[in-house]
Structure 1
Amino acid sequence: MALGIIGLPIPDETILTFAGYLISQKNLHFIPTIFSAFLGSISGITISFFIGRKFGLNFLHKHVSFFHITEEKIHKTKKWFESYGEWLFLFGYFIPGVRHLTALIAGSADTKYSKFALFAYIGGLIWSITFVTIGFNVGIEWNNIIEKIHRHTLMILGIIIVLITLIFIVKKFFQKLF
């Protein structure tokens, strides 16, 4: 779980859901499984936070021209995280890709660790319980449901990538015009 949260291509939700399935088949126990998933998720998000704290701003400052990031944008992002970041820490686990970046950005934006940990750890617990419980309740329908989840997740991710690409292209086009 920790490596998946840090950003390695590990199917976190699938692992949690499968663990829930194994609980339903009496191969695992509910409380230790939730506890293990929770510890893995908070370990990974904590490591990501401190990676962001240590390297994030320095990396951005060295590569501002490549990423088109200004000091003003960095300041605005930091203020946004101070105001609304806790909700992203809490629910970001449920958005593929977001859970991998929130901690890095929070660390880079000098978010207070105590605020980050409070919301991110509660989010990790909710996330772990949710997917393990889904797996437990899925039982026999495991293969059919996992196939549908993967199909829809890939479709949504594809749409998001297309939209981001279109926004980037339109932005570049209008920058050249004006």
Structure 2
Amino acid sequence: MEHLLELLIFRYGYVGLMLALALGIVGIPVPDEALLTYSGFLVNNGTLHMVWVMLCAFIGAAAGITASYGIGIRFGLPFLLKFGPKLHMSPAKIERAQGWMNKYGNFLLFAGFFVPGLRHMTAYMAGMSRLKLRTFMLYSYAGALIWSTLFIYVGYVLGERWLTVKHYVHHYGSAFIIYGAIAVLALISWRVLRSMRKVKT
């Protein structure tokens, strides 16, 4: 996998990152978290620039989830039931995602990014339910921004140990991502608050 990511980034650069994430969100099997974390590692060693990585990652994730939303509006549930299995979305997963969407509503568009498999379906569900575009953008784009930034930052901090994330995501799934997200966000908040205190003093 590492060689595949290297090929993708070094051959296509920032555009490759953006397109891969967009396709990954739509449902094509792309190792999204690994790609983001690896990009953070490349920022760490000076190969890529942090601002461009964050911008392209956000645009890619936002484009992918918006495309899924549009497909949901245009083609609805029949499309998802027909082509979902080809995108690793079984009827059981679709039914489960519908139940979660009905229970947790718009917030799932945000939180769904942190649950592998779920983020591929929430936008389809939002489109099928005719959720207003403004509401969709508010929740889903916020999720895309925080999710992509989080894993880029983790890769940047871990450096050459970035593959650790792949190992834990594979073995512990969404629980690792959720608790890891909380921990990293807490760390970022602590650093920001500490910087603000230093400025005041």
Aligned to 1:141: 161
- TM superposition shift of 1:139: 0.9
**What CA distance in whole angstroms lies between the structure 2 residues aligned with 1:27 and 1:143?**
17
Q: Any idea what the Cα deviations from partners look like across 1:91-135, whole Å, max 9, x if unmatched?
A: 110000110000001100111111011110011000110000010
- TM superposition shift of 1:30: 0.7
For the pair 1:49 / 2:69, whether they are aligned, the reply is: yes
TM-score (norm 1): 0.71
The unaligned stretches of length 5 or more in structure 2 are 1-20, 83-90, 177-201
- TM superposition shift of 1:23: 0.5
Q: Percent of aligned positions with the same letter in both sequences?
A: 40
Q: CA RMSD in A?
A: 2.9
**What CA distance in whole angstroms lies between the structure 1 residues aligned with 2:33 and 2:79?**
30
**Alpha carbons 2:115, 2:174 under 8 Å: kept:** no
- TM superposition shift of 1:152: 2.5
**What CA distance in whole angstroms lies between the structure 1 residues aligned with 2:55 and 2:167?**
27
Distance 1:17-1:59 versus aligned 2 partners, 3 A rule: closer
Letter in 2 for 1:101: M
Q: Any idea what the Cα deviations from partners look like across 1:116-163, whole Å, max 9, x if unmatched?
A: 11110011000110000010011132234432332323999xxxxxxx
Distance 1:85-1:155 versus aligned 2 partners, 3 A rule: closer
Aligned to 2:142: 122
**What CA distance in whole angstroms lies between the structure 1 residues aligned with 2:79 and 2:27?**
18
**What CA distance in whole angstroms lies between the structure 2 residues aligned with 1:143 and 1:107?**
35
Q: Any idea what the Cα deviations from partners look like across 1:20-69, whole Å, max 9, x if unmatched?
A: 01111111111110000000000000000010001114558x9xxxx7xx
**What CA distance in whole angstroms lies between the structure 1 residues aligned with 2:31 and 2:117?**
11
Aligned to 1:151: 171
User: How many residues were matched structurally?
Assistant: 143
Aligned to 2:41: 21
Aligned to 1:7: 27
Ranked by relative contact order (alpha carbons within 8 Å, sequence separation 6 or more), the top structure is 1
Aligned to 2:116: 96
Q: 1:80 aligns with which of 102, 122, 139?
A: 102
**Alpha carbons 1:57, 1:109 under 8 Å: kept:** no
Letter in 2 for 1:80: N
Letter in 1 for 2:134: S
Which structure is larger by alpha-carbon Rg, 1 or 2?
A: 1
**What CA distance in whole angstroms lies between the structure 2 residues aligned with 1:155 and 1:85?**
21
**What CA distance in whole angstroms lies between the structure 2 residues aligned with 1:150 and 1:9?**
14
**Alpha carbons 2:109, 2:122 under 8 Å: kept:** yes
TM-score (norm 2): 0.63
